[in-house]
């Protein structure tokens, strides 16, 4: 790693640059990786993006399972990267540790919450990086930084040694600059391969495209042709017959209730200082009641049934990863909230249903990247990674 480059990107937490050698042989031998600072690294405090969290937690006794698996596969760890506070934001602007530089779109946010991991890969400080995705925290920074990224099937990768946020949504994911490496990491982290699924129909989510800026569909048109070349003839569908707005609202309530259940004790006990946005959201999640949760649960079940229905027999659903390119750094609060709502309206689809999603850096608007996403049935992570690798070759 070039120290000057690393310093100028600001991807790592304070004291977060160190090195742990990987095994001397293995499928990732010779590659380097960074880990979002919600993954435990033995002997170091996992800071989760908030100084009060770091102050009130002891060093980890052992590596998180994902970190250990990459080390065992021969990759070397080069450091811990900045995360949005408690992974509860999509912007990538940490009020305590700063905003990592988005090398693919300087002046714009990297996206979060896995902002430092995305910035480190985009800035070529390492080959790959671990992130986590509850509401879009791998997919959005991958889209903003022009990277390949994956949100895995819920429950497919064990999360020992990883800070929980909203356990029924939390999954591990990772970033790479090419589709081939994204897939090779999957072969290490996904455990027993899930055979069988082969891409069948290509579905284009018209309601998801309608949520995005007008410039997005034309920017992704050539990418869609490549996806069609890999999968087969496309068919337009409306993803949510009851409207994506209802899905977003259900996601927001269920995620919020789980965030509060996960962190209420620590927040109540330590009264941590949170930056803007995160502070307001923590005040809100404490107010969610059982009636809201029950109503949102009913919507979630409908969403799951609908996605099951759409994604049988190897179908692949295609949609924009993000509603726009990365916002400029330092966006005012109300515009940040509006961007968050529009983004979650797209990312909640895979989140509510626990489905895997890959994002491919195949679009560009005004010189800044935007990703095209593919969602498939639960367990079809390998199929999506195979598509990402194949489509990357089809340029």
Q: Which is nearer to a copy of itself, 161 or 363 (CB)?
A: 161
Both tokens assigned to 262:
């996960």
- C-alpha of 225 from chain center: 25
Q: Which is nearer to a copy of itself, 194 or 341 (CB)?
A: 194
Residue 80 designated active-site: no
Cβ 157 to a copy of itself, closest distance in Å? 6
Both tokens assigned to 344:
């979650």
Cβ 72 to a copy of itself, closest distance in Å? 5
Spot the catalytic one: 32, 36, 89, 117: 36
Q: Which is nearer to a copy of itself, 235 or 305 (CB)?
A: 305
Cβ 230 to a copy of itself, closest distance in Å? 23
SS3 45: coil
Cβ 351 to a copy of itself, closest distance in Å? 15
Q: Are 176 and 182 in contact (CB under 8 A)?
A: yes
Cβ 227 to a copy of itself, closest distance in Å? 23
- C-alpha of 271 from chain center: 28
Instruction: Tell me the longest C-alpha to C-alpha distance in the chain.
Output: 56
Task: Tell me which residue of 123, 52, 44, 37 sits closest to 84, measured CA to CA.
Answer: 37
Spot the catalytic one: 32, 89, 103, 113: 113
Q: Which is nearer to a copy of itself, 145 or 250 (CB)?
A: 250
Element housing 346 (H / E): helix 333-353
Spot the catalytic one: 89, 114, 137, 373: 137
Tell me the DSSP string of 255-274.
HHHHHHHHHHHHHHHH----
Residue 137 designated active-site: yes
Both tokens assigned to 321:
């990863």
- C-alpha of 137 from chain center: 3
Strands (E) across the chain are located at 12-20, 32-36, 76-81, 128-133, 148-151, 171-176, 202-205, 234-237, 316-320, 357-365, 368-375
**Torsion, CA 73, CA 66, CA 371, CA 323, rounded to 10:** 180
Chain residues that interact with a copy of itself, rule: CB under 8 A: 58, 61-62, 65, 68-69, 72, 153-162, 164, 167-168, 191-192, 194, 196, 257-258, 260-262, 264-266, 268-269, 286, 290, 293-294, 297-298, 300-301, 308, 377-379
Q: Which is nearer to a copy of itself, 237 or 286 (CB)?
A: 286
Q: Which is nearer to a copy of itself, 96 or 302 (CB)?
A: 302
Residue 368 designated active-site: no
Cβ 59 to a copy of itself, closest distance in Å? 11
Give me the active site residues, please: 36, 113, 137
């Amino acid at each position: 790693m070039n120290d000057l480059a690393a310093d100028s990107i600001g991807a790592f937490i304070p004291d977060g640059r160190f090195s742990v050698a990987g095994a001397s042989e293995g499928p990732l031998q010779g590659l380097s990786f960074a880990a979002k600072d919600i993954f435990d690294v033995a002997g170091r405090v996992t800071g989760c993006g908030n100084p009060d969290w770091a102050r009130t937690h002891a060093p980890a006794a052992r590596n998180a399972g994902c970190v250990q698996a990459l080390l065992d596969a021969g990759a070397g760890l080069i450091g811990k990267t900045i995360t949005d506070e408690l992974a509860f934001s999509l912007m990538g602007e940490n009020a305590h540790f700063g905003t990592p530089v988005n090398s693919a779109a300087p002046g714009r946010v990297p996206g979060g919450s896995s902002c430092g991991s995305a910035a480190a890969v985009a800035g070529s400080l390492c080959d790959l990086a671990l992130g986590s995705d509850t509401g879009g925290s791998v997919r959005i920074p991958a889209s903003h930084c022009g990277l390949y990224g994956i949100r895995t099937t819920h429950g497919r990768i064990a999360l020992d040694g990883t800070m929980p946020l909203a356990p029924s949504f939390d999954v591990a994911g990772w970033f790479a600059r090419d589709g081939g490496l994204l897939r090779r990491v999957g072969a290490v982290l996904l455990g027993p391969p899930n055979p069988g699924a082969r891409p069948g129909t290509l579905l284009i989510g018209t309601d998801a495209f309608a949520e995005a800026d007008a410039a997005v569909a034309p920017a992704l048109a050539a990418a869609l042709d490549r996806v069609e070349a890999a999968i087969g003839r496309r068919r337009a569908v409306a993803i949510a017959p009851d409207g994506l707005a209802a899905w977003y609202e259900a996601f927001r309530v269920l995620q919020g209730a789980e965030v509060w259940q996960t962190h209420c004790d620590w927040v109540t006990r330590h009264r941590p200082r949170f930056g803007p946005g995160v502070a307001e959201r923590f005040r809100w999640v404490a107010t969610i009641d059982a009636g809201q949760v029950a109503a949102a649960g009913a919507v979630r079940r409908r969403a799951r049934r609908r996605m099951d229905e759409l994604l049988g027999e190897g179908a692949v659903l295609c949609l924009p990863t993000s509603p726009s390119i990365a916002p400029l750094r330092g966006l005012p609060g109300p515009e940040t909230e509006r961007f968050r709502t529009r983004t979650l309206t797209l990312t909640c689809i895979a989140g509510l249903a626990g489905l895997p999603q890959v994002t491919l850096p195949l679009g560009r608007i005004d010189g800044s990247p935007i990703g095209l996403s593919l969602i498939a049935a639960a367990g079809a992570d390998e199929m999506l990674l195979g598509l990402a690798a194949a489509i990357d070759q089809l340029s």
